[in-house]
Amino acid sequence: MGKKKQKTVLPPELPPEVPDEDIEVSDEDLQFINENLEYAGFVSKLDTHSITKHVSRVADADEGALESLYEKRLRKKLQKKDEEESTLEVDPVDVLPVKTLDGELYYRRVTKESKIYEAESTQGEATGVLKLTKPEKRAKQKKLRKEAKKLSKEEVQQVPAQAEVLDEVKKDISTEESREMKKYKLAELGTAILADPESNIKSLKEMLEISKDGDGVIVILALKSLLAVFKNIIPGYRIRLPTEKEKEMKVSKAVKKLRFYESTLLSALKAYIQKLVALQQQTVYKRVAANCLCTLLAAVPHFNFRESLLAAVVSNLSSQDDVVRKLSCSTLKSLFINTGKHGGEATVEAVKLIADFVKAHNCLLHPDSVEAFMSLSFEDLGKPENPDADNRAKSKKSKKRKGVDESNQIPDNDRKKTRKEMMLKTREEVNADLKAASFAQDPEEKRRMQSETLSALFQTFFRILKCAVQPVTEAIVVPGGFGSHPLLAPCLNGIGKFSHLIDLDFMSDVMNLLRKLAGNSSKIGDSLKSSVQLSVSERLRCCIVAFKVMRNNLDALNVDLQDFYTHFYNLLLEYRPGRDEGELVAEAFKLMLCDDRQHDMQRAAAFVKRLATFSLCFGSAESIAALVTVKHILQKNDKCRNLLENDAGGGSVAGAIAKYQPYAMDPNRSGALASILWELKLLIKHYHPAVATMSTNISSMSSSNNQVYHHVSPQQAYAELSLEKESAVPSGDTKRANNKKRRTNDHIPLKSAVDLALMDQISENEVRQKLSQHFLLLRDIQENERLKFEMDQTTHCLNLYKHYKKQKTRKGRGHAKR
């Protein structure tokens, strides 16, 4: 067996030896070797002994010698393993490897203990410590081995740092892949549900599970996908789940399938709404959740869980996020306008929820929360109908006409009674079926919902008015610059719009509250004087609302509005442009002074004088509105035109008060008839041509002149010459030109006067062309500067590259010379 093993180990036979005699060397070969002896000298220096050692596989070799050779090789391998375990490889960067004659690379190795011994020896030599004994050396060797193990562990711990980086990269790749998979899954589930909702309704639960993912992108995508699915599969009717008795009854497979579909849809929708309400508390998903809630409420206001959707949307009316608040307000407005989707039920619920919300926050909310009420609309449904009572009344009248007395009438027999009862029952059943089948809403039900809506609406408005009148212990200001009563302005607008629907029993209370708020003086009480601080605009709005209420209920009310005239007379002195709203002043001029009412002569003259003074103090828009009002009052009151006469004793001494008192609080006691309109002389020289033209027209009026002039309302005049649209610029040339035109045209309407002023000004097209040329020039300059900077950078980079190339070529030449 041993011989067979040796035969298998032997290499293949060598090629046959050729004797030297048979080898032929040509002359050319000899000549080449003789010429190149320098290059062939290494052959004589070859170590033939070492070569013969490595070339062991020669012909006719001894088998025992081969076995010993193999044993030596095994020993060498084992020795190498022991050396590798006991030594450390030197880093190839520090020391280059050694290449043997066999072509193998050997890296230099150092024993693990040698470095430690060297360190100890150096320390010992430095400190002068004596040599250690054998037991001490053994103890040191143990310590050194332990330290070597620690070092090896630290080297192993360095490897996991790279592994952690690789794990992070793998996680990133895996998250991206999982995100793509979830997106694909959402698309697949949504498409399957839309294709066949009844068969794939279970997929809603899977989509809800995906929406619970930790990735924000997947959560937002899942919420939007569920919203699209619910909008498409929700039916047009309200689902009623079966009772326990109905569940025990045997039904067909189709009914079972429909019940399962409806129950699964409701449970999924409930979970979805709860998820959205919970996500509203997180700032990341707040806008997305609010958008989904508002869209779902606007799309399906007739369906189940409408109460929870309305509660969530109404609670967002006080949100500090403008986007969420505006979105909720617009959703409620669309809900109030489009009542055909829900039949008016959602409107009633929403108005009640807003009323409770205002009550809970003590009327300290953003104005948008009540602004939605302005989109409500109410129909005049008339009085409720009662056909049974009408029939009874008709039958009584007919019997009275015939002279038949019911007390003496003989009762009918039982058959007739039962027949009548059956006819009434069948008639009621038929009417109920007709109501259910018809698309038109029952007028009684509509009247009931409208009355509930109105009661909740006016309850909110009256609460806001009472909160504005009550004393405030602390100055609470809602963020946004709306003052301490932020809901007062939209409340007054709502009362002005729906004042014709207020019950007459509450009308006197409303007028008293408006009178107190418009005064804002010592009449309210000393306790309230320090606490109630309303702006001029809010007080003006109170006066306007009072006159609107009076106009809408003119036949039923008998209220004295003298206090409101007094408040308005004093408010004209407190008005400041920019701070207060000029549109409200113009509206007050129209409602309180220009409407078809006969004013007292003293009060009319006081307002004419106060408005003329008002025109001197403020801009052209306010001035033209006041002058239009003055012109209208003078046209209606002939005796007030005495103010235009420049007599020695004043305008008129025939009044009750002979002396003019400009600082009087009451217009009836100001004695304005004893003064003259000297302000018109200054207004004729006003810089704006429209104001100058209107003052000229007013000054040309007299008590004997009964001509009717062209009239525009103060609101129209203010709108045409408002600060935003005002384009007239004061200049000397335009004044002269306008003065010449005034001599020829005494009665120029407002619009034509503005057109004449615009004709004298510079054309807008020329200004636009000059501005465009200027901006084009500036843009070209900036573009040139930018291109210059880029060109400097590129030239600098090119110079650096040339310098680098020169240095590189110099270094290369230096290395070549060496």
Which pLDDT score, from 0 to 100, does residue 527 have? Answer: 40
| pLDDT higher than 90, residue 351 | yes
Please answer whether residues 349 and 306 qualify as being in contact, where contact means their C-beta atoms are separated by less than 8 angstroms. yes
Query: Of 256, 279, 302, which closes a domain?
Result: 279
Specify if 249 maps to a domain. Answer: yes
604 and 742 inside one domain: yes
Q: Which amino acid is at 615?
A: S
Same domain for 156 and 226, yes or no, is yes
The answer as to whether 712 is a domain residue is: yes
Q: What is the per-residue pLDDT for 557?
A: 62
744/740 Cα distance (integer angstroms): 7
Based on the domain organization, do 224 and 258 belong to the same domain?
A: yes
Burial of residue 797 (CB within 10 Å: 0-12, 13-18, 19+) is exposed
Phi, psi for 296 (deg, rounded to 5): -65, -40
| Confidence class for position 287, pLDDT limits 50, 70, 90 | very high
User: Which of 336, 302, 354, 343 is CA-nearest to residue 448?
Assistant: 343
In a domain, 391, yes or no: no
Give Cα separations from 370 to 287, 349, 484, 486 (angstroms).
Answer: 21, 15, 16, 10
Mean pLDDT, rounded, for 163-190: 78
Contact of 333 with 435, CB cutoff 8 Å? no
**Do 241 and 199 sit in the same domain of this protein?**
yes
Stretch (H or E) spanning 99: strand 98-99
- 740 and 594 fall within a common domain: yes
pLDDT at 275 over 70: yes
* pLDDT > 60? residue 349: yes
59 and 172 belong to one structural domain: no
pLDDT digits (tens, 9 = 90+) for 602-658: 888 899 999 999 998 888 889 999 999 999 998 888 888 888 876 544 555 455 666
The torsion angles phi and psi of 109, rounded to 5 degrees, stand at -125, 150
pLDDT computed for residue 311 by the predictor = 93
- Asked which of 229, 253, 279 is the last residue of a domain, the reply is 279
Note whether residue 240 is domain-resident. yes
> For residue 306, is it within any domain?
no
Which of 226, 244, 279 is at the close of a domain? 279
Q: Which amino acid is at 118?
A: E
Condensed to tens digits (0 to 9), the pLDDT of residues 308-320 reads: 999 999 999 888 8
Q: Could you list the residue range(s) of the whole structural domain that residue 776 is in? A: 766-813
Q: Six-digit token pair at 484?
A: 């301490």
Amino acid identity at 397: K
Q: What is the SS3 assignment for 495?
A: helix
Residues 164 and 178 in one domain: yes
Q: What single-letter DSSP state applies at residue 580?
A: B
Report the greatest alpha carbon distance in the chain. Answer: 172
> What is the residue-wise DSSP string for 45-74?
T--HHHHHHH----TT--HHHHHHHHHHHH
Q: Are residues 614 and 750 in the same domain?
A: yes
Helices (H), 474-535: 488-497, 507-519, 526-529
If one counts the domains in the chain, the total is 4
- Is 432 a residue whose pLDDT tops 80? no
593 with 685, same domain? yes
At 248, the pLDDT band (50, 70, 90 cuts) reads: confident
Pick the closest to residue 624 from 699, 730, 695 (CA basis). Answer: 695
DSSP-derived secondary structure for 140-193: HHHHHHHHHHHHHHHHHHHHHHHHHHHHHHHHHHHHHHHHHHHHHHHHHHHHHH
The pair of structure tokens assigned to 22 is 């048979």
HSE-CB for 711 with a 13 A CA cutoff: 16
8: in domain: yes
Residues 6 or more apart in contact with residue 280 via CB below 8 angstroms:
286, 289, 290, 293, 312, 316
H/E stretch holding 105 reads: strand 105-106
3-class secondary-structure state, position 208: helix
Q: Which residue has the tokens 């009472």?
A: 466
Residue 701 within any structural domain of the chain: yes
The Cα–Cα gap between 194 and 229 comes to 7
Q: What is the 3-state secondary structure (H, E, C) of 258-314?
A: HHHHHHHHHHHHHHHHHHHHHHCCCCCCHHHHHHHHHHHHHHCCCCCCHHHHHHHHH
Query: By the 8 A CB rule, do 675 and 643 touch?
Result: yes
Most confident of 471-480, 489-498, 781-790: 489-498
Distances (CA, A) of 725 to 586, 617, 718, 728, 754: 16, 20, 10, 9, 12
| Cβ-contact 591, 544 below 8 angstroms | yes
- As given in the structure block, the two tokens for residue 406 are 């019911």
11: DSSP letter: P
Q: In Å, what is the CA distance from 161 to each residue of 149, 150, 155, 167, 442?
A: 20, 18, 11, 10, 77
Q: What is the mean pLDDT of the chain?
A: 76
DSSP 3-state of 213: coil
Q: Kindly state the percentage of the chain with pLDDT values over 90.
A: 16
Rounded distance between C-alpha atoms, residue 490 and residue 473, angstroms: 24
Placement of tokens 């009044």 in the chain: 655
- What CA–CA distance (Å, rounded) separates 520 from 660? 26
Least confident of 77-91, 370-384, 574-588, 741-755: 741-755
Q: What are phi and psi of 300, to 5 degrees?
A: -130, 70
Residues paired with 105 in a beta bridge:
99
Q: Is 361 left (phi over 0), alpha (psi -120 to 50) or beta?
A: alpha
State residue 229's pLDDT score. Answer: 92
Q: 643 with 676: CB under 8 angstroms?
A: yes
Sequence-separated (6 or more) residues with CB below 8 Å from residue 219: 211, 212, 213, 279, 285
Place of tokens 């019940």: 259
In 3D space, the residue among 629, 639, 635, 641 whose CA is nearest the CA of residue 702 turns out to be: 641
Whether residue 627 is found in the same domain as residue 734:
yes
In this prediction, residue 472 has a pLDDT band, given cuts at 50, 70 and 90, of low
Is the pLDDT score of 218 beyond 50? Answer: yes
Residues in contact with 509: Cβ distance below 8 Å, sequence separation at least 6, in sequence order: 462
d(CA 681, CA 660): 19
Q: In this structure, are 710 and 619 located in the same domain?
A: yes
Task: Using pLDDT thresholds of 50, 70 and 90, give the confidence band for residue 556.
Answer: low
Residues 6+ apart with CB under 8 A from 273: 293, 296, 305, 308, 309, 312
Q: Two tokens at 782?
A: 């900036």
What percent of the chain lies above the pLDDT cut of 70? 70
User: In sequence order, what DSSP letters do the residues of 517-551 get, joined into one string?
Assistant: HHH-STTT-HHHHTT----HHHHHHHHHHHHHHHH
pLDDT digits (tens, 9 = 90+) for 568-613: 999 998 898 888 888 889 999 998 888 766 778 888 889 999 999 9
Specify whether 153 is located in the same domain as 194: yes
Residue 291 belongs to a domain? no
Spatial CB neighbours of 306, under 8 Å, sequence gap ≥ 6: 297, 342, 346, 349
Q: Of 342, 339, 349, 345, whose CA–CA distance to 376 is shortest?
A: 339
pLDDT at site 308: 92
Which pTM value belongs to this model?
A: 0.62
The pLDDT value given to residue 98: 80
